[in-house]
Amino acid sequence: MENKVLIFGHKNPDTDSITSSLVMENLERKLGNENVKAVRLGDVNKETQYVLNYLGIEAPELISEVEPNQEVILVDHNDKTQSIDNIGDAKVLKVIDHHAINFTVSSPLYYRAEPVGCTATVLYKLYKENEVEVDKTAATLMLSAIASDTLVLKSPTTTDYDKKVVKELEKITGLDINEYGVDMLKAGTDISDFTPEQVINIDSKLFEQSNKKFRIAQVNTADLDSIFKNQAYFEQAINDDIQKENLDFYVFAATDIINSNSRIISLGNDAPVVEKAFGVAVDNHTAMLENVVSRKKQMLPPILDALNNDVNL
Amino acid sequence: MENKVLIFGHKNPDTDSITSSLVMENLERKLGNENVKAVRLGDVNKETQYVLNYLGIEAPELISEVEPNQEVILVDHNDKTQSIDNIGDAKVLKVIDHHAINFTVSSPLYYRAEPVGCTATVLYKLYKENEVEVDKTAATLMLSAIASDTLVLKSPTTTDYDKKVVKELEKITGLDINEYGVDMLKAGTDISDFTPEQVINIDSKLFEQSNKKFRIAQVNTADLDSIFKNQAYFEQAINDDIQKENLDFYVFAATDIINSNSRIISLGNDAPVVEKAFGVAVDNHTAMLENVVSRKKQMLPPILDALNNDVNL
């Protein structure tokens, strides 16, 4: 493995992170770069497992660190806090992403980010630009990633380009995103056998920006009540994390994929930033954010703006 | 102007920064985005003026700041220290670049960087990907930028892709890069009517990395002696700048475009980093760097490595 270029997405991998590393591996090989290997930085969640089961393929190998000077390709992330712990030891050859940018390297590299709903959308563009045929497995992986990241094209992160790509992927796969995608999302919302601690870690991202250290965790659900009836247990798990990691604040968002809104729990010394960020009153550590479903586009930017504009925090 | 998306390259613009802003304006318009305008952040140097005279076109308008929330597209740079002073007030829509990355934004954007010799090479790829025809003026501008950044394809930053693009641009323009490009470079080396202060500012970049603030300035020449016979005057100009800007060190590189090497002057409290970075002995503040012509690939990375590995600096 050591001599191969490793391809991986972010920690606490979601469907886009896992599938995009597999798709990028496929693309690189078709372009003649045999020496690549998709890996992952964390457990496969239930939604992603649904995709892998559907295709009958194995998850990429789990890794926890890289050798010094290991050549890597990052997909679906660029921020070091979301990457492998010793990313500083690696040599980043390429980045394929669709997020905000918080990235520093001392040598030029291939960096491709576009403000679209999903890394897979950018990857599909790369297949087209390089005139590489998209096979059915790669197309299913990309369709899954887009269905996941855009909540079946309903999230405000969805662009016309995502929709166009989905149409073409539906043709290749014979799948209907509104059937296959919704089944996949539902599989991901099954948290019946999870502890609150496990739930908050399904899709949790650490940010160190504006001199603050914070997490925004998100879980999709078709039933907000099933989560909030156990709010006290979730608060305990979140407070444990705040203490363990010395966080300034923590936002946990339960996103209702049926009604397209999110109910949050916010804790920590700087939790008041949430009221300013979203213009809501937080009552008993929780608030409903109407029409908010995207961490990337609707949660992180207002939080960063609120942090940057408030010298008292 | 205020309502237009402004397109600009870095401060102390070189030929790539000026021509790539004009070419990006052309590409955006051909893609239906009429509302764009190329501008520049500094004086046009003699090399670039040669290109504009050859084509009979005007330089982009000079600007020194942007309005709050002004939408901008950055070409040929990403580092805020090299951009317009109040770049923090602007909304960056796109970045097209070929440099190392030191960039943070809170919202996703279009970011396209490739490890090639010139921004124009990336732009040519964008024309092809979008199936937009390259007209003769745009082709001449891109050929000029590549000839400039790669020293007529002789710099180690030159990639096979730059060479391939040059072949296609030669076909469109009817120009031979070894004739036109060399004439252009020579026009740029005429510093006979410049003061040392003006010479060090022809192509000077400010870096704030690894907790140090420093400049690397570069000037092309066909005659190193003409510069070093006046070394004392150059040292005075450099030391003035160090004091004025509170720099930790300053590297001025006179690059011999005939013999493909650079003679440097290094000054400032942290100037010893240069010996470590390049493995050379600095004598009387100067050293010859054999086969070193690229700031981006051969000067900045070893300096950053030396800074990062030396806790005493």
Give B36-78 pLDDT, tens digit per residue.
999 999 999 999 999 999 999 999 999 999 999 999 999 999 9
Identify the pLDDT of residue A39: 98
Of the candidates B37, B259, B206, B55, the residue with the CA atom closest to the CA atom of residue B137: B55
In this structure, how many other beta carbons lie within 10 angstroms of the beta carbon of residue B40?
Answer: 22
Task: From B159, B187, B215, give the residue that closes a domain.
Answer: B187
Q: How confident is the model at residue B312 (pLDDT cuts 50, 70, 90)?
A: very low
Contact B301 A115 (CB under 8 A): no
Average pLDDT over residues B14-32: 97
The answer to whether residues A174 and A255 belong to one domain is no
DSSP alpha helix (H) spans, A189-299: 196-200, 224-228, 231-245, 273-278
Residues B134-153, mean pLDDT to the nearest whole number: 97
Phi, psi angles (nearest 5°) of residue A86: -100, 40
Shared-domain flag, residues B34 and B177: yes
CATH number of the domain to which B288 belongs: 3.10.310.20
- Angle A301-A81-A156 (CA atoms, 0-180°, nearest 5)? 30
Q: Is the pLDDT of residue A311 over 80?
A: no
Helix (H) or strand (E) holding B91: strand B91-97
Q: A109 contacts in B (CB within 8 Å)?
A: 100-101, 113, 115
Whether residues A103 and B106 touch (CB distance < 8 A) is answered with no
Number of folded domains that form chain A? 2
Q: What is the pLDDT of residue B313?
A: 44
Q: Pick the residue from chain A with its C-alpha nearest to B207.
A: A106
pLDDT band at A2 (very low <50, low <70, confident <90, very high): low
Summarised one tens digit per residue, pLDDT across range A55-107 is: 999 999 999 999 999 999 999 999 999 999 999 999 999 999 999 999 998 88
- Segment B184-212 shows an average pLDDT of 91
- State how far the Cα of A56 lies from the Cα of B177, in Å rounded to an integer: 54
Name chain B contacts of A100, Cβ cutoff 8 Å. Answer: 104-109
Are residues A204 and A265 both part of a single domain?
Answer: yes
Choose the mutation target among B106, B114, B126, B209 for the interface with A, i.e. most A CBs under 10 Å.
B106
- For the segment B16-22, the average pLDDT, to the nearest whole number, is 98
Task: Report the sign of the C-alpha dihedral through residues A101, B35, B18, B176, in that order.
Answer: positive
B126 at A interface, C-beta within 8 A:
no
B115 contacts A114? CB cut-off 8 A: no
CA-based nearest residue to A122, from A104, A90, A99: A99
**Are B151 and B275 part of one and the same domain?**
no
Residue A200 has pLDDT above 80, yes or no: yes
Is B104 close to A209, i.e. CB distance below 8 A?
yes
On whether both B68 and B107 belong to a single domain, the answer is: yes
Q: Do B301 and A113 touch (CB under 8 A)?
A: no
Q: Which two tokens stand for residue B200?
A: 């060090």
* Res B310: pLDDT: 61
In this prediction the ipTM stands at: 0.81
For residue A100, give the nearest of B100, B106, B304 by CB distance.
B106
From chain A residues 199-218, the ones with a CB under 8 A of any chain B CB are 209
Which pLDDT tens digit goes with each residue over A227-271? 999 999 999 999 999 999 999 999 999 999 888 899 999 999 999
- Please give, rounded to a whole number of angstroms, the shortest distance from the CA of A230 to a CA of chain B: 33
Residues in A touching B73 (Cβ below 8 Å)? none
Looking at residue B179, its amino acid is: E
Identify whether residues A175 and A266 lie together within a single domain.
no
The answer to whether residues B155 and B294 touch, using CB atoms and an 8 Å cutoff, is yes
Check whether residue B156 and residue B234 sit in a common domain: no
**In whole angstroms, how large is the CA radius of gyration of chain B?**
19
Q: What is the 3-state secondary structure (H, E, C) of A121-186?
A: HHHHHHHHHCCCCCCHHHHHHHHHHHHHHCCCCCCCCCCHHHHHHHHHHHHHHCCCHHHHHHHHHH
State which residues form the domain around B297: 196-312
Residue A310: its pLDDT value, please? 62
* Chain segment B216-271, per-residue pLDDT in tens: 999 999 889 989 999 999 999 999 999 999 999 999 999 998 888 999 999 999 99
- Write the single-letter amino acid at A215: R
Q: Are strands A71-75 and A5-8 parallel, antiparallel or unpaired?
A: parallel
